[in-house]
Copies of this chain bind each other. A is one copy, B any other.
Amino acid sequence: MAQQERAIATRRRLLVGAAEVFDERGYAAASINEIQARSGVKKGAMYFHFKSKEEIAQGVMASQLELPTEPRSSSASPMQQVIDLTHELAHRLRTDVLFRASIRLTVEQGTFQPHDSDVYDWWLRVFARDLARAQGAGELRAELTPEDVAASVVGSFTGIQMLSHVTCDRRDLHDRLTKWWQQILPGITTPKTAAGLAPAGSPELDLTGTG
């Protein structure tokens, strides 16, 4: 068991080291030697876990799929939980290099492999599931489908974080996200719901521990 735990720890060190390099340089300019040096893992151990730079990148991207997707938010409103999840992801982008690198690699896709929509499809399913709960609670307008709204949320979040990244290193990300929610909530929620929602995230949402 100790050996298995060590293997898990080594794999994690490799992923974090790779994430730091990918986050700084992007996929194309990252070298496997730098990843090895940064993670402090011996070459043999590295090749035991990953055969190539592409495999490491796949591992970093797949780390997104291990994130908890059940709402951390303690809000009783499913729609508020959806809003809170986007702020939680925004916070993670600012503080968690593994998540940040995995998003960068997702965005750079096509540079190093044919399109792979797995990560997008996964987020589309997560948000469609949560928005279906909101619809069940009478919060999402009945004439919309959770899938169509999920596509807008995932697409808009992706682009808004990119714009915030390029223009100000994501310093205004929570603010941009809050304004986007203010603008879109009247069109996707029922009138009585919108007034009770907090576009900036619910007050009880504690983001200090998510980085």
Seen from chain A, the residues whose Cβ lies within 8 Å of a Cβ on chain B are: 25-29, 104, 107-112, 115-117, 120-121, 144, 148-149, 151-152, 154-160, 162-167, 169, 176, 179-180, 182-188
**B-chain residues with CB within 8 Å of residue A159 when the two chains form the complex:** 154-160, 162
**B-chain residues with CB within 8 Å of residue A182 when the two chains form the complex:** 187
Copies of this subunit: 2
In this complex, what residue of B is CB-closest to A169?
B115
Q: Are A111 and B29 in contact (CB under 8 A)?
A: yes
Interchain Cβ contacts under 8 Å between A and B, 15 examples: A28-B28, A104-B110, A115-B167, A120-B167, A148-B183, A152-B179, A152-B183, A154-B163, A155-B156, A155-B162, A156-B156, A156-B180, A159-B160, A182-B187, A183-B188
Known contacts A159-B156, A159-B159; is-contact A166 B110 (Cβ 8 Å): yes
Q: Are A117 and B187 in contact (CB under 8 A)?
A: no
**Chain A interface SS verdict (over half):** helix
Residue from the list B112, B121, B164, B186 in contact with A187, Cβ < 8 A:
B186
**B-chain residues with CB within 8 Å of residue A166 when the two chains form the complex:** 109-110, 115-117, 120
Q: Are A111 and B162 in contact (CB under 8 A)?
A: no
Residue from the list B25, B115, B160 in contact with A152, Cβ < 8 A:
B160
Contacts A152-B156, A154-B159, A155-B163 aside, 13 further interface pairs with beta carbons under 8 A come to: A28-B29, A107-B107, A109-B166, A115-B169, A117-B166, A120-B163, A148-B183, A151-B163, A155-B156, A155-B159, A155-B176, A155-B180, A159-B162
Q: Are B163 and A179 in contact (CB under 8 A)?
A: no
Query: Quick one: which of A26, A29, A166 has the most chain B CB within 10 A?
Result: A166
Interchain residue pairs A-B with the least CB separation, the first 3: A159-B159, A28-B28, A158-B159
